Amino acid sequence: VSTQSTGAKRVISFALTEENSKGAASRLAAIKDRAQDASDLFPIIKPALIFFGLIDKFQSILKTPSGEEVKVPLTNISHKSDSVWITQMRSTLRQNQAAVLDKCKEILSSYESWLTFADSMEFFDDLGLLAEVMKEEKSADDLVLKLGKLFVPSSS
């Protein structure tokens, strides 16, 4: 499982946790007593997916992979200021400003299209995570429902 996939699952879980913390006023409480599908949860997780997508896109244009192993659970993440990836990022920002700005326009275009997305499948596909999600679940909707069940107990 990639760190990108793990990150997406974490922001979805965070969005559901935040919504659940509203108690009876939450949109999760409103769907608790009926059969749920992913479309019930999508409006709750969409802002988190947009946030994740923006961070992921910015990282992809500004950073090169550090090559360091990601240890789970994440606790204290720090890098020396002279780490290779930090040095390369500084160099990219200094020497390729026009290219970085062009990439930022692409990010804006992605953001605008994400606003129109109607389901999680479109997000995971656009972020290049759909194949990885489909290895674990039958669909992106199944992943969303699986995470949603942690926060929306069934009425039975």
**pLDDT tens, position by position, 107-149:** 999 999 999 999 888 988 998 888 888 888 888 888 888 888 7
- For residue range 24-75, list pLDDT tens digits in order: 667 777 666 555 677 888 888 999 999 999 999 988 888 776 566 656 666 6
Residue 143's Cβ-count burial label (10 Å; 0-12, 13-18, 19+) is buried
**4 touches 56 (CB < 8 A):** yes
pLDDT digits (tens, 9 = 90+) for 73-87: 666 667 777 877 788
Distance set, CA 34 to CA 15, 19, 30, 98, 113 (Å): 21, 18, 9, 52, 31
Q: What is the mean pLDDT of residues 102-108?
A: 93
Give CA–CA dist 82/88, Å, rounded: 10
Task: Report the distance separating Cα 119 and Cα 143, nearest Å.
Answer: 12
